[in-house]
């Protein structure tokens, strides 16, 4: 049995090497094989949009992995602890998701030795952080159902526009068409499930967004993955998607939360509709309105350009080098100093529009001028300069 | 005297040992394993090592008890110690898995082959009619038992001192949900098993290194360098593509046992990586050892 090894002793080394090859081969074959048994038929973008709207999701649980490579400078203190709810801005993060209808959802951010949870059950919303051992309780208003904390998009019933999902899909595609090319090139595999892909590609040049790919589950018609590709990277600059998903309705106990003893409990009471946007994270439909009204003297932000190449120009109301007393920010002086430190590390740029600091990320660029104007857009810096000089 | 002959070299007093009957051979393997474990357990340096491993949870628990009401500080497992004694073994494991437990493993692995060769007992061991394949299997099995031994020492000492000083009751998981004592104990048992598996995989690396040299110290230091290098690589964010393949990267995932419900994804990946390391390095140890000239 051992005879070939006896005559050629060096042949023995082939065995551990073979073990490595078999494992590596198994892993690559596993991914190829998984996408090979994808038997979904072709679907047009319109059909996909209709599918998504008609999806009736009763429940799911799973693991979501989110990676961002936005090219942000390292902010000390931001996302130091991997289970900090602010940390998703950088790096890779794992979320556990449970969903059982719009009023029952739980989201857990898994950190190395910690966890942050957001649990919604009926009108109660709990935010738990294992790092600070604190629990915060919010009560949602009874009359209207708030935004689900889950990742599932519940189409907002906007004032009686399209009557059927088909019409809504048509309207959406028609609205997108001038700026965006929408295609459904084929299928893919996400979390071991066959999925259709919907691809949005900007028609205009100048945008940093190369394409957005959305994978829609083949049988449940729920978006399983969103990838945003930058023109500057081969890998997605932002990606959020399931790595495992189960469409069975999770047990009720996943949504019950009682603060354990030894916890700092804060009761924030009921959330009025005014400050509702803060924890929910959903921007109100008319985005430019309330933001501009909040700043005392600040000029209303203007949008220059259209579609993917739009640039938002805002007046922050304070010059970069001037001292604090924040009118728009409202952040602590320590944060402001930190911000100034980060800003001074950014390259200085100047042109006919003035001078300032330039930030170039993978998905957006920003210029903060010395006189306090801020231009942001998912565009190359030149477009920002153009927008700033067209005041 | 060719390198291909497994029983060549000075040890080949018998050209080929008479192959005993199957049942007798199994008895021999068991006896060999037993004597190997007795040898490991009987060594003074190993007993001293176990005492050091056991001292860490005691020091931690006592100092936290003495400085009581000093909330916060340290990781989450630490800050929870005052609320439940069962966090003492868990926090001690978190601390010791970084350096002390791998060090203990490195010592045992260094002794396994290189130590025998160094004091000249390896050739006598090879006269036992069990064959090199089985001898290597016995050596690795004893390392696996050694890994469990070390982790159990930390966990049991920690649990005893923790329950004595802080009591025991429902445990607050990282998810903020409380679980009862029985299920908390079960999680501790799972953590012991998971970390032992990780150390046993390191033991395979150590066994391979141990076949390369006749100096047990050199082997032990090499295992420690391997461990420390892995931790360093794991801390470099630019190498994140490599991280899932590092042995140590998955060790701290034992904290996923403290979520409600248990988050298995990383634990299962970790066990898979352990198995991969164990298989590849055990086979490499075999490839080296089976054809090695044993002269001492």
Q: What is the pLDDT of residues B112-131, one digit of tens each?
A: 999 988 988 888 888 877 78
Across the interface, whether the CB atoms of B290 and A262 are under 8 A apart is answered no
Across the interface, whether the CB atoms of B175 and A108 are under 8 A apart is answered yes
The pLDDT assigned to A285 comes to 40
Give the span between the Cα atoms of A79 and A75, in whole angstroms. 8
Of the three residues A230, A262, A280, the one that is the final residue of a domain is A280
Give the span between the Cα atoms of A201 and A379, in whole angstroms. 14
Check whether residue A96 and residue A231 sit in a common domain.
Answer: yes
Distances (CA, A) of A101 to A56, A105, A127, B4: 9, 7, 19, 68
Distance from CA of A71 to the nearest CA of B (A): 13
Mean pLDDT throughout B220-249? 92
Distance from CA of B4 to the nearest CA of A (A): 5
Of the three residues A219, A248, A280, the one that is the final residue of a domain is A280
Question: Which residues, 6+ apart, have CB-to-CB distance to A306 below 8 Å?
Answer: A179, A204
Cis-peptide into B95, omega within 30 deg: no
Q: Quick one: B33 exposed, middle or buried, by C-beta within 10 A (0-12, 13-18, 19+)?
A: middle
Gyration radius (Cα) of chain A, Å: 25
Counted domains in chain A: 3
Among A1, A2, A6, A9, most B C-beta atoms within 10 A, so best to mutate, is: A9
Give percent of chain B above pLDDT 70. Answer: 89
Q: Which residue has the tokens 């904390």?
A: A149
Check whether residue A62 and residue A28 sit in a common domain.
Answer: no
Task: Classify each residue of B185-219 as buried b or exposed e, where b means 16 or more C-beta atoms within 10 Å of its C-beta.
Answer: eebbeebbebbbbbbbbbbbbbbbbbbbbbbbebb
Residue A265 has pLDDT above 80, yes or no: yes
Check whether residue A25 and residue A88 sit in a common domain.
Answer: no
Give the span between the Cα atoms of A103 and A149, in whole angstroms. 9
Instruction: Write out chain B residues lying below 8 Å of A261, CB-based.
Output: 83, 172
Q: Is A211 on the interface with B (CB under 8 A)?
A: no
Check whether residue A309 and residue A251 sit in a common domain.
Answer: no
The pLDDT assigned to A350 comes to 86
> What is the number of CB-based contacts under 8 A between chain A and chain B?
89
Distance from CA of A19 to the nearest CA of B (A): 6
Residue A319 has pLDDT above 80, yes or no: no
A144-199: pLDDT as tens digits: 544 444 444 444 444 455 668 888 888 888 888 888 999 998 888 898 889 999 99
ipTM of predicted complex: 0.78
Across the interface, whether the CB atoms of A261 and B176 are under 8 A apart is answered no
A329-351: pLDDT as tens digits: 444 556 667 777 777 778 888 88
Name the band, by pLDDT with cuts 50, 70 and 90, for residue A296.
very low
Q: Is A27 on the interface with B (CB under 8 A)?
A: no
E strand residue ranges, A191-254: 193-202, 209-217, 223-230, 236-246
Q: For chain B, give the number of residues.
A: 296
Check whether residue A298 and residue A269 sit in a common domain.
Answer: no
Check whether residue A269 and residue A328 sit in a common domain.
Answer: no
Residue B74, by phi and psi: left (phi above 0), alpha (psi -120 to 50) or beta? left
Check whether residue A243 and residue A330 sit in a common domain.
Answer: no
Q: Is A203 on the interface with B (CB under 8 A)?
A: no
B164-212: pLDDT as tens digits: 999 998 998 999 889 999 999 999 999 999 999 999 999 999 999 999 9
Q: Is B178 on the interface with A (CB under 8 A)?
A: yes
The pLDDT assigned to A125 comes to 92
Check whether residue A307 and residue A227 sit in a common domain.
Answer: no
The pLDDT assigned to B49 comes to 94
Name the band, by pLDDT with cuts 50, 70 and 90, for residue A70.
confident
- Centre a 10 Å sphere on the Cβ of residue B56 and count the other Cβ atoms it contains: 19
Instruction: Write out chain B residues lying below 8 Å of A137, CB-based.
Output: none
From B4, B174, B276, residue closest to A115, measured CB to CB: B174
Chain A residue with the nearest C-alpha to that of B277: A20
The pLDDT assigned to B208 comes to 96
Check whether residue A144 and residue A246 sit in a common domain.
Answer: yes
A112-142: pLDDT as tens digits: 888 999 999 988 999 998 888 889 999 988 7
B45-95: pLDDT as tens digits: 999 999 999 999 999 999 988 886 555 444 567 778 888 899 999 999 999
Distance from CA of A248 to the nearest CA of B (A): 16
The pLDDT assigned to A102 comes to 84
Across the interface, whether the CB atoms of B77 and A113 are under 8 A apart is answered yes
Instruction: Write out chain A residues lying below 8 Å of B287, CB-based.
Output: 12-13, 15-16
Check whether residue A18 and residue A53 sit in a common domain.
Answer: no
Q: Is A133 on the interface with B (CB under 8 A)?
A: yes
Q: A383: domain range?
A: 288-389
Chain B residue with the nearest C-alpha to that of A263: B176
Check whether residue A192 and residue A93 sit in a common domain.
Answer: yes
Distance from CA of B42 to the nearest CA of A (A): 33
Check whether residue A8 and residue A84 sit in a common domain.
Answer: no
B135-165: pLDDT as tens digits: 999 999 999 999 999 999 999 999 999 999 9
């Amino acid at each position: 049995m051992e005879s070939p090894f006896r005559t050629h002793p060096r042949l023995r080394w082939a065995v551990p090497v073979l073990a490595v090859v078999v494992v590596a081969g198994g892993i690559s074959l596993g991914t190829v094989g998984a996408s090979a048994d994808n038997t979904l038929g072709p679907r047009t973008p319109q059909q996909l949009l209709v599918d998504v709207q008609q999806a009736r999701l009763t429940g799911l649980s799973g693991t979501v992995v989110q990676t961002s490579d936005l090219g942000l400078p390292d902010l000390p203190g931001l996302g130091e602890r991997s289970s900090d709810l602010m940390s998703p801005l950088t790096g890779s993060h794992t979320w556990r998701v449970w969903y059982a209808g719009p009023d029952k959802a739980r989201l857990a951010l898994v950190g190395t030795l910690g966890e942050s949870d957001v649990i919604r059950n009926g009108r109660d919303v709990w935010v738990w952080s294992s790092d600070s051992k604190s629990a915060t309780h919010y009560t949602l208003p009874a009359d209207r159902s708030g935004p689900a904390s889950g990742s599932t998009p519940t189409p907002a019933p906007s004032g009686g526009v399209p009557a059927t999902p088909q019409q809504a899909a048509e309207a959406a595609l028609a609205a997108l068409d001038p700026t965006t090319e929408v295609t459904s090139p084929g299928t893919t595999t996400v979390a071991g499930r066959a999925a259709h892909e919907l691809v949005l590609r900007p028609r205009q040049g100048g945008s940093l967004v190369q394409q957005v790919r959305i994978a829609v589950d083949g049988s449940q018609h729920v978006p399983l993955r969103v990838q945003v590709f930058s023109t500057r990277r081969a890998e997605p600059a932002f990606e959020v998607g399931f790595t495992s998903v189960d469409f069975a309705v999770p047990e009720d106990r996943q949504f019950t939360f009682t603060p354990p003893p030894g916890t700092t409990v804060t009761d924030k009471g009921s959330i009025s509709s005014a400050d509702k946007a803060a924890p929910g994270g959903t921007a109100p439909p008319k985005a430019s309105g309330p933001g501009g009204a909040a700043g005392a003297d600040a000029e209303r932000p203007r949008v220059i350009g259209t579609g993917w190449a739009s640039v938002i120009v805002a007046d922050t109301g304070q010059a970069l080098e001037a001292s604090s007393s924040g009118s728009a920010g409202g952040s602590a002086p320590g944060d402001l100093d930190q911000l100034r430190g980060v800003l001074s590390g950014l390259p200085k740029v100047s042109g006919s529009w003035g001078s300032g600091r330039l930030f170039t990320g993978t998905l957006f660029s920003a210029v903060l001028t010395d006189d306090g104007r801020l231009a942001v857009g998912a565009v190359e810096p030149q477009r920002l300069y153009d927008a700033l000089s067209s005041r | 005297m060719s390198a291909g002959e497994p029983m060549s070299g000075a040890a080949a007093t018998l050209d080929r040992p008479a192959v005993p009957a199957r049942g007798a051979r199994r008895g021999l393997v068991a006896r060999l394993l037993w004597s190997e474990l007795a040898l490991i357990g009987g060594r003074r340096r190993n007993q001293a090592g176990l005492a050091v491993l056991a001292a860490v949870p005691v020091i931690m628990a006592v100092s936290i008890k003495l400085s009581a009401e000093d909330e916060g500080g340290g990781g989450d497992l630490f800050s929870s110690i005052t609320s439940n004694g069962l966090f003492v073994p868990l926090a001690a494991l978190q601390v010791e898995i970084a350096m002390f437990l791998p060090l203990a493993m490195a010592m045992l692995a260094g002794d396994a082959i290189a130590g025998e060769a160094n004091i000249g007992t390896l050739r006598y061991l090879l006269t036992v009619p069990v064959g090199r394949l089985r001898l290597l299997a016995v050596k690795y099995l004893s390392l696996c038992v050694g890994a469990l031994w070390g982790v159990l020492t930390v966990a049991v000492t920690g649990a005893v001192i923790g329950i004595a000083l802080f009591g025991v009751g429902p445990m607050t998981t990282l998810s903020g949900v409380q679980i009862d004592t029985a299920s908390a104990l079960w999680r501790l048992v799972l953590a012991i098993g998971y970390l032992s598996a990780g150390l046993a995989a390191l033991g395979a690396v150590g066994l391979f290194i141990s076949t390369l040299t006749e100096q047990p110290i050199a082997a032990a230091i090499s295992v420690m360098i391997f461990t420390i290098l892995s931790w360093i690589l794991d801390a470099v964010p630019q190498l994140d593509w490599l991280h899932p393949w590092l042995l140590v990267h998955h060790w701290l995932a034992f904290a996923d046992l403290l979520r409600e419900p248990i988050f298995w994804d990383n634990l299962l990946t970790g066990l898979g990586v352990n198995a991969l390391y164990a298989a590849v390095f055990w086979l490499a140890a075999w490839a080296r050892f089976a054809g090695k000239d044993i002269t001492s």
